[in-house]
Structure 1
Amino acid sequence: MNLSFFDQFLSPSMMGIPLVMMAMLLPWLLFPSPTNKWLNNRLSTLQIWFSQKFTKQLMSPLNVKGHKWAMILTSLMMFLITINLLGLLPYTFTPTTQLSLNLGLAVPFWLATILIGLRNQPNATFGHLLPEGTPTLLIPILIIIETISLFIRPLALGVRLTANLTAGHLLIQLIATAMLVLLPMMPMISIMTMMVLFLLTLLEIAVAMIQAYVFVLLLSLYLQENV
């Protein structure tokens, strides 16, 4: 019984064909396409307003060189939010609960920020490995610690997103199962459990958006150190 709770995290397939790519590409169909009209509809206007606000907030700490990343980071933010929110619907699959996908997103972006730093400002990039004024005896230890922390960054990005979404989905399924089991025996307790489930669902909606924002925000902070 307990093992079946994790079946929701298995990659869906049909006739032996994995459907993960379909689950990742179909959310893009929900975004309205721009038109040639002078006035857009409310949905397009809301999407443009949100993209502009988020891009402005994300790019404000960066210098002009870092503004080249505005489009790709905003697109990544919208992509993660859409996948996370659609994964909360019944009979759907959340690709971001897979650690392999999250690491596949985190490692290339993190590596790109490091390579940009090594190309544009190699002295400052290597200078981050050793704080100024460090005693001579502590220099080898601090360099090793800072190097390990540098390489742990993409792992932390992927694990954070995976763990938060996986824990939320498991809690929702556990509480929903408890509500159905308690319904014939203790209806009042089942109704109270249903209220807890409703509040947890609202919390998971917030977590789905916040985790996507944190993922992109940390990438922008890594970029800020290297541009």
Structure 2
Amino acid sequence: MTLSFFDQFMSPDLLGIPMFALALFLPWVLLPRPALRWMSNRLTTLQEGFLNRFVHQLFGPISQPGHKWALLFASLMIFLLTLNLLGLLPYTYTPTTNLSVNLGLAIPLWLAAVLIGMRNQPTVSLGHLLPEGTPALLIPLLIIIETISLFIRPLALGVRLTANLTAGHLLMHLIATTTHVLLYVMPPLATTIYAALLLLTILEFAVAVIQAYVFVLLLGLYLQENV
């Protein structure tokens, strides 16, 4: 019983063929594509309005050179949002519950932002490792701490997204299993637990949206420090 709770996080396969790549890239097919007509449908208009609002809010504090990343970050936001939300449907797989996937997204983007900062403004980028006015005795210690903090950032990005989605999926599975067991033994209690499960499902939809936004927002903050 305990092992079955974690079956939902195993990579799907069909006839022994891994379906991980299909689960990772198939959500792109569900996204509406902009039409060449002057008047677009409601779904496309809603998507464009969401992207415009998101890009305006994310890149408002970022200087002009960083605006080249707008298309990449907007695509990443839609990609993570689609994966997180589709993973809440029955008989689906959530690739973002896999730590390797999240680290594969976080590390290259974080490293690119750091390398851009080191190339364009090395003094400012290195200055983040040592706060102004630090006593001379604490300089070596603070440099080590800030360097470790710098390299932990992509790991924190991946672990945050993985942990939040995994915990939510496990909790929903546990509550659903409890409801199924108590349905024939204590129907009133099972009904109450089922109502809590519905509220938790709504919360998980919010978590899926928030975690995708936080992931991209933190990458935007790292970019802001280096441009």
Sort the TM-score into its range (normalised by shorter chain): over 0.9
Any unmatched runs of 5+ in structure 2?
Answer: none
Structure 1 match to 2:7: 7
1:120 aligns with 2:116: no
User: How far apart, CA to CA, are the structure 1 residues paired with 2:43 and 2:125?
Assistant: 42
User: How far apart, CA to CA, are the structure 2 residues paired with 1:30 and 1:58?
Assistant: 25
Structure 2 match to 1:26: 26
Structure 2 match to 1:203: 203
Number of residues of Structure 1 aligned to a counterpart in Structure 2:
227
* Residue identity matched to 1:20: F
* Residue identity matched to 1:140: P
Structure 2 match to 1:171: 171
SS at match of 2:152: helix
SS at match of 1:225: helix
Q: Residue by residue, what CA displacement relative to the aligned partner does 1:178-198 show, whole Å, maximum 9, x if unpaired?
A: 000000011110100110000
Q: Residue by residue, what CA displacement relative to the aligned partner does 1:128-155 show, whole Å, maximum 9, x if unpaired?
A: 1011111111010000000000000000
1:183 aligns with 2:196: no
Structure 1 match to 2:140: 140
User: How far apart, CA to CA, are the structure 2 residues paired with 1:204 and 1:26?
Assistant: 22
User: How far apart, CA to CA, are the structure 2 residues paired with 1:176 and 1:156?
Assistant: 30
User: How far apart, CA to CA, are the structure 2 residues paired with 1:10 and 1:32?
Assistant: 29
User: How far apart, CA to CA, are the structure 2 residues paired with 1:45 and 1:135?
Assistant: 55
User: How far apart, CA to CA, are the structure 2 residues paired with 1:92 and 1:77?
Assistant: 20
Structure 2 match to 1:83: 83
How far has the Cα of 1:72 moved from its partner? 0.2
How far has the Cα of 1:18 moved from its partner? 1.2
Matches within 5 A, 1:29-108: 29-108=29-108
Any unmatched runs of 5+ in structure 1?
Answer: none
User: How far apart, CA to CA, are the structure 2 residues paired with 1:116 and 1:215?
Assistant: 20
SS at match of 1:142: helix
Which 4+ stretches in 1 moved above 3 angstroms? none
Q: Residue by residue, what CA displacement relative to the aligned partner does 1:87-113 show, whole Å, maximum 9, x if unpaired?
A: 000000000000000000000000000
User: How far apart, CA to CA, are the structure 2 residues paired with 1:139 and 1:48?
Assistant: 48
How far has the Cα of 1:164 moved from its partner? 0.1
SS at match of 1:107: helix
Structure 1 match to 2:194: 194
- Of 17-26 and 86-95, deviating more is 17-26
**Cα RMSD after superposing both structures:** 0.6
How far has the Cα of 1:16 moved from its partner? 2.2
SS at match of 1:61: coil
User: How far apart, CA to CA, are the structure 2 residues paired with 1:154 and 1:174?
Assistant: 30
SS at match of 1:39: coil
Structure 1 match to 2:156: 156
Q: Residue by residue, what CA displacement relative to the aligned partner does 1:48-89 show, whole Å, maximum 9, x if unpaired?
A: 110100010011010100100000001000000000000000
Kindly, what percent of the aligned residue pairs are identical?
A: 67
How far has the Cα of 1:117 moved from its partner? 0.2
* Residue identity matched to 2:94: T
SS at match of 2:39: coil
* Residue identity matched to 2:90: P
